[in-house]
Amino acid sequence: MADSDVISTAPKPLLRVVLCSPRGFCAGVVRAIDCVERALKRYGAPVYVRHEIVHNRYVVEGLRAKGAIFVEELDEIPDTDAPVIFSAHGVPQSVPAEAKRRNFLALDATCPLVTKVHREAEIHRRRGREILLIGHAGHPEVVGTLGQLPPGAATLIETMADADAFTPRDPAQLAYVTQTTLSTDDTAEIVARLMARFPQIAGPHKEDICYATTNRQEAVKRVAPQVDAMIVVGAPNSSNSMRLKEVAERAGCARAALVQRAADIDWNMFGNIASLGITAGASAPEVLVEETLDAFAKRYTVSVETVSAAEEDMFFPLPRALRENEVAG
């Protein structure tokens, strides 16, 4: 046992825990997980899922135990009648096309708010506009959005430097869309720079960063300045979780850490604090927040309060095939 794992029998110090609200699962993640569970119930195991259905190891392992098989590409799947589900992040158009060619029963768990961005990009393309996609290279959502367009139709903008360096073919025929899980502040700066350089640039009617990302960041901004440390429960490949850690640091909480679950907590970092903020990325289940809270309660006498930045009641219905199947069944 490491020194940091030793729990003292002396009276426990007090710890004020401030839970950020909203935190954790968003409507798109709930829908995606429901898709896999409903498909398993309806068709039986196995159910194939292209990419992690949502970026959380705990969720993925839970579904794997129930019979989901996770693959990165369709060519890893043998010829099968089993359903093939696309993850919440969305896929390039080539993926459903390939699924159709192979006669897979494809079920699309892409979040409707990602699909909205795909549609915007397609409308801009049809109007002959050159498209800027603000996002992070390599993230599956960015790969999916770029994959709605022919090669060369869109340019990825990751930073202010990219926004400064970009030269359009025609500044009057330019549009931008964004990844849904970016930092709201960073993105606002990049958009402001693009609008200053290209006043005619077309953008979304309502911004592409989704309600869940915005609300979780807003709650962190309120809590971070009033606590000694902040824990973000989430995965390192979860864009919205990574952004929450950055938002906490920028809002004045230097001691912020992303943890996948309680076992990851570095007690050298969190062993001597009087107040702690806790939030969770949109793909992190509440049970992992509870587990984190329990870990602190073993070392501290904990008092818990909640700071709320927004009420959420968003709900996305399941894909039609799963709904119809349920009615038919």
So which residues are the catalytic ones?
141
- Residue 235 within binding range of ligand SF4, rule CB under 6 A: no
Enumerate residues 6+ apart whose C-beta is below 8 A from 297. none
37 SS3 class: helix
Smallest separation, CB 306 to ligand SF4 (Å): 21
* Pairing mode of beta strands 14-21, 301-308: parallel
Choices 149-157, 195-203, 207-215, 290-298 (CB under 6 A): range interacting with ligand SF4 = 207-215
Q: What is the spatial distance between Cα 244 and Cα 216, in angstroms, rounded to a whole number?
A: 7
Residue nearest to ligand SF4 (CB): 28
* Whole-Å CA distances, 247 to 216, 218, 243, 254, 280: 10, 9, 6, 10, 13
Identify which range of 55-63, 122-130, 209-217, 269-277 contacts ligand SF4 by CB under 6 A. 209-217
Q: Which range touches ligand SF4 (CB under 6 A), out of 1-9, 26-34, 267-275, 284-292? A: 26-34
- The binder of ligand SF4 chosen from 19, 27, 190, 247 (CB under 6 A): 27
In the complex, what is the shortest distance from the CB of residue 52 to ligand SF4, in angstroms, rounded to a whole number?
Answer: 12
Is 29 among the residues that bind ligand SF4 (CB under 6 A)?
Answer: yes
Q: Do residues 70 and 64 touch, judged by C-beta distance below 8 A?
A: yes
Q: By CB under 6 A, tell whether 113 contacts ligand SF4.
A: yes
Partner residues linked to 156 by β-bridges:
133
| In the complex, minimum distance from the CB of residue 181 to ligand SF4, in angstroms, rounded to a whole number | 5
* 173 to 22, 27, 100: CA distances (angstroms): 38, 34, 34
For position 181 contacting ligand SF4 by CB under 6 A, the verdict is yes
28 makes contact with ligand SF4 (CB under 6 A): yes
Contacts of 7 (CB under 8 A, 6+ apart): 298, 299
Using the rule CB under 6 A, is 210 a contact of ligand SF4? yes
Contact segment (CB under 6 A) with ligand SF4 among 21-29, 77-85, 169-177, 222-230 equals 21-29
CB 131 within 8 A of CB 154: yes
Give the Cβ contact number of residue 108 at 10 Å. 20
- What residues make contact with ligand SF4 under the rule CB under 6 A? 26-29, 88, 111, 113-114, 180-181, 210, 212-213, 240, 282
